[in-house]
């Protein structure tokens, strides 16, 4: 028969294991549902000629779902579990967007597609900030906001939107602005970046000094990344 301290320890281990399993099961359900809503390869026109005016429609469903999940979780889960669910969902969205850029199903994309995803990302960032503060988690987890788990995809979108993307190769700028980005991932993604639907920076770019300068900078980044790899 267990002595009391051993029995207590055994009970705590069982409870912790059960709680962790329940948390992972819940997070798997949430992430699977997020994948159903997002379906990024199908929901996004990666070579659109139109400048986006706002986020994609699927983002409304994503936010409504996340609001429901977080509201329910706040009512039934302890603070640490609530935080983990929020972090898990937000991080999954970040990873999903980056993974889609890397996916073989995406052969090329242009600046308009990047701009559209930037609109989507801002919606998620605003949701992350609002929920982090409204749930009171900001008082408990001061160093790890929900938004901080979007940093990789934010840095990627900032790089692809930059007028001087070749600055990624500058160690000081990279450490300050792009420190979560992996060289190989950036090389793979940038190689797919074409600023017109026909796969090149078209005649419009030639008439626009800023676009021409950005094209040269992106070409330089691609070249230097290939040399680095």
Tens of pLDDT along 194-203?
875 444 444 4
Mean pLDDT value across residues 166-189: 96
185 domain residue, yes or no: no
Q: In this model, does residue 167 exceed pLDDT 50?
A: yes
Q: What is the pLDDT of residue 143?
A: 80
90 pLDDT tier (thresholds 50, 70, 90)? very high
Domain extent at residue 11: 4-161
118 domain residue, yes or no: yes
Q: What is the pLDDT of residue 198?
A: 43
Q: In this model, does residue 94 exceed pLDDT 70?
A: yes
217 domain residue, yes or no: no
CATH number at residue 150: 1.20.58.670
Q: What is the pLDDT of residue 166?
A: 95
Mean pLDDT value across residues 29-57: 90
Residues whose CB falls within 8 Å of the CB of residue 168, separated by 6 or more in sequence, listed in order: 159, 174, 178, 181, 186, 221
Q: What is the pLDDT of residue 205?
A: 46
Q: How many domains does the chain have?
A: 1
Distances (CA, A) of 179 to 58, 77, 153, 165: 29, 34, 12, 14
83 domain residue, yes or no: yes
20 pLDDT tier (thresholds 50, 70, 90)? confident
89 domain residue, yes or no: yes
Q: In this model, does residue 30 exceed pLDDT 70?
A: yes
Q: What is the pLDDT of residue 197?
A: 44
- Residue 143 exposed, middle or buried by CB count within 10 Å (0-12, 13-18, 19+): exposed
Averaged pLDDT score across all residues of the chain? 87
Stated pTM of the model: 0.85
- Which one is predicted more confidently, 194 or 98? 98
Q: What is the pLDDT of residue 126?
A: 97
Mean pLDDT value across residues 96-117: 95
187 domain residue, yes or no: no
179 domain residue, yes or no: no
162 pLDDT tier (thresholds 50, 70, 90)? very high
Q: Helix, strand, coil % (nearest 5) of the chain? A: 75, 0, 25
171 domain residue, yes or no: no
Best CA proximity match to 43, nearest among 31, 55, 33 = 55
């Amino acid at each position: 028969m267990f002595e009391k301290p051993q029995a207590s320890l055994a009970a705590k281990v069982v409870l912790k294991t059960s709680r962790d399993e329940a948390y992972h099961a819940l997070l798997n359900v949430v992430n699977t549902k997020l994948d159903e809503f997002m379906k990024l390869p199908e929901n996004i026109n990666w070579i659109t000629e139109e400048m986006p005016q706002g986020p994609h429609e699927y983002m409304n469903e994503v936010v409504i779902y996340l609001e429901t999940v977080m509201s329910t979780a706040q009512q039934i889960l302890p603070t640490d579990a609530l935080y983990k669910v929020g972090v898990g969902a937000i991080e999954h969205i970040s990873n999903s967007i980056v993974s889609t850029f890397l996916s073989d199903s995406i052969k090329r994309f242009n600046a308009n597609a990047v701009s559209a995803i930037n609109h989507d990302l801002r919606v998620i960032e605003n949701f992350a900030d609002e929920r982090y503060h409204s749930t009171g988690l900001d008082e408990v987890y001061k160093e790890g906001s929900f938004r901080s788990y979007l940093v990789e995809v934010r840095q990627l979108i900032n790089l692809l939107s930059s007028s001087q993307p070749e600055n990624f190769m500058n160690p000081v700028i990279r450490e300050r602005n792009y420190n979560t980005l992996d060289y190989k991932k950036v090389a793979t993604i940038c190689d797919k970046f074409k600023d017109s639907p026909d796969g090149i920076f078209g005649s419009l770019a030639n008439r626009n000094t800023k676009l021409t300068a950005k094209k040269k900078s992106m070409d330089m980044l691609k070249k230097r990344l290939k040399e680095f790899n």
